[in-house]
Chains A and B, each alone.
Chain A
Amino acid sequence: LAKTTQPISMDSYEGQEVNITCSHNNIATNDYITWYQQFPSQGPRFIIQGYKTKVTNEVASLFIPADRKSSTLSLPRVSLSDTAVYYCLVEGGRGFQKLVFGTGTRLLVSP
C-alpha cells in the first residue's frame, strides 16, 4: 500500500480557493487516488477519486500530474463549513482493498 504525505494543517479564509497537495511517490500502476473529508465525531465522507489528469465534481477538483507521484485537491471558494480534516488515500486497485489512512490535513477556514 502506497504511503501518502500531506501537510498537517492549513489555514484559509472564507471565499478563497484551497489547494491541498498529497505526495505518493510509491504509487503503483493499478492504484488510484481518493480524497475523504472528516468532521469531528463523524465518519469520513468521500469527496473525489481519480487515476490521472483532472477530475471535477460538484464539490472539488482533483489534479494528478503525469507521473502520478502527487495529487492536489482543490476546493473552490471555501466556507466555514469546509473546516475539517482531509485525507488523501491511495487505493490498491480492484478487489475491495483495505484503506490505510495517513495523518490527513486539518483545514481551518476563518471568517
Chain B
Amino acid sequence: GAVVSQHPSRVICKSGTSVKIECRSLDFQATTMFWYRQFPKQSLMLMATSNEGSKATYEQGVEKDKFLINHASLTLSTLTVTSAHPEDSSFYICSAPRAAGGGLGLETQYFGPGTRLLVL
C-alpha cells in the first residue's frame, strides 16, 4: 500500500526556537496533504490543509503565522512550528489522500508515523 513518511520522528527543542517537520508521500503524488495535532489521550485535531502550489488552508483557531506550511512539491509538505513554546509540545501527524481505485472516486487517507515534539 501507499506509504507516507515523516521526519524527524521525535524532536526536543528549546523554547523560542523553530522546528521543521517533513511529510513525504513515498510512492504516490499528493496535491493535498493534511496536518493534525494530537495531545495525550485525545483524538486527532485537524490543523490545516496543505495545497501544492498554493497557500495552506488553516482550521479555525490555528495560527497560520505560528504553524507555517509549505507544500513545495507533489510529494513533500513541511510544517514549521515557529517560536515554539512548551504548550506546542504534541504529536504531529500528516496524511495524504490517494484514490482508492475501482472507478468510484473514493479515496483513502494514508497517515505518516507522526512526529513527537517536546519543547523545553
> A residues near B, CB below 8 A?
32, 34, 36, 41-46, 49, 87, 91, 93-94, 96-104
**Chain A binding surface SS class:** loop
**B interface, size bucket:** 20 to 34
Cβ of B105: which chain A residues have Cβ within 8 Å of it? 93-94
**Chain B binding surface SS class:** strand
A43/B106 contact (C-beta < 8 A), A100-B46, A101-B45, A103-B43 known: no
Considering only CB atoms, which chain B residue lies closest to A94 in the complex? B105
Closest 10 CB pairs of A and B: A43-B111, A94-B105, A101-B44, A96-B97, A101-B43, A96-B32, A43-B93, A44-B111, A43-B114, A43-B112
Task: Decide: B108 and A34 in contact? CB cutoff 8 A.
Answer: yes
Considering only CB atoms, which chain A residue lies closest to B6 in the complex? A43
Query: Closest Cβ of chain A: how far from B25's Cβ, in Å?
Result: 12
Binary interface profile of B, 81-120, with partner A (CB < 8 Å = 1, else 0)?
0000000000101110100100001111111111010000
Query: Closest Cβ of chain B: how far from A97's Cβ, in Å?
Result: 8
Binary interface profile of B, 10-52, with partner A (CB < 8 Å = 1, else 0)?
0000000000000000000001101010000001111001000
Query: Closest Cβ of chain A: how far from B98's Cβ, in Å?
Result: 9
Task: Decide: B113 and A42 in contact? CB cutoff 8 A.
Answer: yes
Considering only CB atoms, which chain B residue lies closest to A45 in the complex? B111
Task: Decide: A99 and B109 in contact? CB cutoff 8 A.
Answer: yes
A46/B95 contact (C-beta < 8 A), A98-B46, A99-B46, A100-B46 known: no
Query: Closest Cβ of chain B: how far from A8's Cβ, in Å?
Result: 11
Considering only CB atoms, which chain A residue lies closest to B40 in the complex? A40
Query: Closest Cβ of chain B: how far from A38's Cβ, in Å?
Result: 8
Query: Closest Cβ of chain A: how far from B5's Cβ, in Å?
Result: 10
Task: Decide: B34 and A98 in contact? CB cutoff 8 A.
Answer: yes
Name which of A87, A91, A96 has the most chain B CB atoms within 10 A of its CB: A96
Task: Decide: A49 and B43 in contact? CB cutoff 8 A.
Answer: no
Query: Closest Cβ of chain A: how far from B58's Cβ, in Å?
Result: 11
